[in-house]
Amino acid sequence: MSEELQEGGAEVETARERDHLDRHWRKLARCVHESVNFFFSSSEEDVALGLCQRCAVRTECLAYALDERIEHGVFGGTTARWRRKLLVRRSHVASWHQLLAAAKDQYLNNIDEAHQVAK
Ligand code: SF4
């Protein structure tokens, strides 16, 4: 795994790194040493959402919460209410993990292509 990924960067450079990230994303979570109270308290929801904004594994965390139908707390930069609405609207999605991983990879590929064009 690259230094960048270990230090919280969002880049995923190879399929091997993607596989590693899929299995070990929790170790890279920005909240790993934070109190869980932030994430399950409506009065501190904004604090939790702020942490998520700067988290390198937000996509993986959100996919986990959606696939596991977690109905409480902040995960992946979203509230439980937001996720419930999304699950109703997109009830046909079989695997959020696959959908969001593909979207993230496409996004990163587009950035790479844009950098190539800019050179
Ligand atoms: S996205 Fe938020 S809840 Fe998920 S691992 Fe990162 S900081 Fe924690």
Q: What is the pLDDT of residues 49-61, one digit of tens each?
A: 999 999 999 999 9
Do the Cβ atoms of 96 and 62 come closer than 8 Å? yes
State whether residue 78 is helix, strand or coil: strand
Ligand 1 center to 46 CA (angstroms)? 13
CB distance 73 to ligand 1 below 6 Å: no
- At residue 80, does pLDDT exceed 60? yes
Residue 12: its pLDDT value, please?
54
CB distance 5 to ligand 1 below 6 Å: no
Ligand 1 center to 30 CA (angstroms)? 6
DSSP state of 75: B
Rounded to 5 degrees, φ, ψ at 69 are 55, 45
**Could you tell me the end-to-end alpha-carbon distance of the chain, in angstroms, rounded to an integer?**
26
CB distance 66 to ligand 1 below 6 Å: no
Do the Cβ atoms of 65 and 75 come closer than 8 Å? yes
